[in-house]
């Protein structure tokens, strides 16, 4: 177990005249939310192990503006975007990896029109690439044969057609990937998107995350895998609501890999 995480900032590298291979965009949840911070750290552990040259923006990072845009505040979104783009362009960022599909979508699709052109990948895509390049190795170990179901984040799946990277990683863990009745293109939202995360739901018969958790439970999983900090929260709450938290874990793909590798 390595104790200290190596988390260089862009500012430090820039001062030393270095340019990292990739910028790790941590995102607000990854920076501040207690559950999501664990995902951030798990991902960094893998990056450290694989000796990936990366850096974060640290205190120079700011919200991408996704929740503002989805709430209808286009002005606030664009203010956030141009501020972030200014910072990233100053560091001559070429490639960005993020563990948040909302950041991923916004950076990849909505920043170019405002002057921010980067190659943006989701961490599951990045991890898959590391694996293919032999920079990390994966042995299933403790996940061998475990039933894992994957919840497609809307902003990774339908929004950007990334369905396979997370699934391939799960399979590489020798786990048994079990699909929910609504998966991939037909995946059901966890209920957090479109800024719902930050407000009370409208009146209805049920919360969306409960509906989705029920679908997940139908597959009788030991682990519900997610690729988004917000989905993670929603599914964790759903599992708690069903009083299944002692038997079913909700884990990010990065966490699965980090624990499999005993990092």
Partner 1 sequence: MTYLPNILFAIIFVTAIVFFSKNVMRLRRNIKLGKDVDVSDNKSQRWKNMAKIALGQTKMVVRPIAGLLHIIVYVGFVIINIEVLEIVIDGVFGTHRIGLNVLGASVYGFLIGAFEILAVLVLVSVIVFWIRRNIIKLKRFLSNEMTGWPKSDGNIILYFEVVLMCLFLIMNAADSSFQGLDTGNLISQHIVPWFNSMSPESLHFVERTAWWLHIVGILIFLNYLYYSKHLHILLAFPNTYYGKLVPKGQFKNSDAVTREVKLMMDPEADPFAAPAEDAPEAEKFGASDVADLSWVQLLNAYTCTECGRCTSECPANQTGKKLSPRKIMMDTRDRLEEVSKVIDANNGSFVDDGKQLLGDYISHEELWACTSCNACVEACPVSIDPLSIIMDMRQYLVMEQSAAPSDLNNMMGNIENNGAPWPFNQMDRLNWAQEQ
Per rule CB under 8 A, count of chain residues that contact partner 1:
72
CA-CA-CA-CA torsion sign (138, 142, 144, 149): negative
CB 113 within 8 Å of CB 65: no
Question: What's the min distance (Å) between Cβ of 186 and partner 1?
Answer: 7
Contacts of residue 87, Cβ cutoff 8 Å, sequence gap at least 6: 57, 60, 61
Residues 13-72 that bind partner 1 (CB under 8 A): 26, 28, 30-33, 37, 40-41, 44, 56, 58-59, 61-63, 65, 67-72
Residues 207-236 that bind partner 1 (CB under 8 A): 207-208, 210-212
Distance CA 32, CA 45 (A): 18
Would you give the distance in Å from CA 60 to the centre of its chain? Answer: 20
Task: State yes or no: residue 3 binds partner 1 (CB under 8 A).
Answer: yes
Task: State yes or no: residue 109 binds partner 1 (CB under 8 A).
Answer: yes
Question: What's the min distance (Å) between Cβ of 98 and partner 1?
Answer: 13
Angle made by CA atoms 161, 229, 168, in degrees to the nearest 5:
45
Residues 173-202 that bind partner 1 (CB under 8 A): 185-186, 188-189, 191-202
**Pattern of binders to partner 1 over 78-97, x per CB under 8 A?**
xxx-x---------------
Ramachandran region, residue 194 (left: φ > 0; alpha: ψ -120 to 50; beta: rest): left
**Pattern of binders to partner 1 over 114-143, x per CB under 8 A?**
x-----------------------------
Choices 109-117, 121-129, 218-226, 252-260 (CB under 8 A): range interacting with partner 1 = 109-117
Mapped onto helix, strand or coil, the DSSP state of residue 62 is: coil
In terms of C-beta density within 10 A (0-12 exposed, 13-18 middle, 19 or more buried), how is residue 163 classed? middle
For partner 1, the closer CB: 6 or 144: 6
């Amino acid at each position: 177990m390595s104790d200290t995480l190596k988390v260089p900032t862009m500012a430090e590298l820039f001062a030393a005249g270095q340019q990292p291979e990739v910028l790790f965009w941590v995102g607000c949840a990854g920076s501040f939310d207690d559950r999501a911070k664990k995902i951030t750290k798990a991902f960094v552990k893998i990056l450290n192990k694989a000796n990936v040259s990366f850096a974060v923006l640290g205190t120079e990072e700011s919200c991408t503006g996704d929740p503002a845009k989805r709430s209808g505040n286009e002005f606030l979104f664009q203010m956030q975007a141009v501020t972030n783009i200014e910072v990233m362009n100053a560091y001559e960022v070429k490639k960005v990896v993020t563990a948040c599909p909302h950041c991923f979508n916004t950076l990849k699709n909505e920043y170019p029109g405002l002057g921010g052109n980067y190659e943006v990948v989701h961490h599951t895509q990045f991890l898959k690439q590391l694996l293919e390049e032999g920079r990390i190795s994966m042995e299933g170990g403790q996940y061998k044969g475990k039933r894992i179901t994957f919840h497609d984040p809307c902003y990774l799946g339908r929004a950007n057609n990334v369905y396979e990277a997370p699934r391939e990683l799960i399979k590489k863990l020798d786990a048994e990937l079990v699909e929910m009745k609504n998966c991939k293109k037909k995946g059901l939202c966890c209920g957090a998107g479109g800024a719902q995360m930050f407000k009370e739901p409208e009146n209805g018969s049920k919360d969306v995350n409960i509906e989705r958790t029920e679908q997940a439970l139908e597959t009788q999983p030991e682990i519900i895998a997610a690729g988004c900090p917000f989905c993670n929260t929603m599914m964790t709450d759903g599992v708690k609501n069903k009083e299944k938290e002692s038997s079913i874990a909700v884990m990010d793909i990065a966490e699965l890999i980090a624990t499999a590798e005993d990092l």
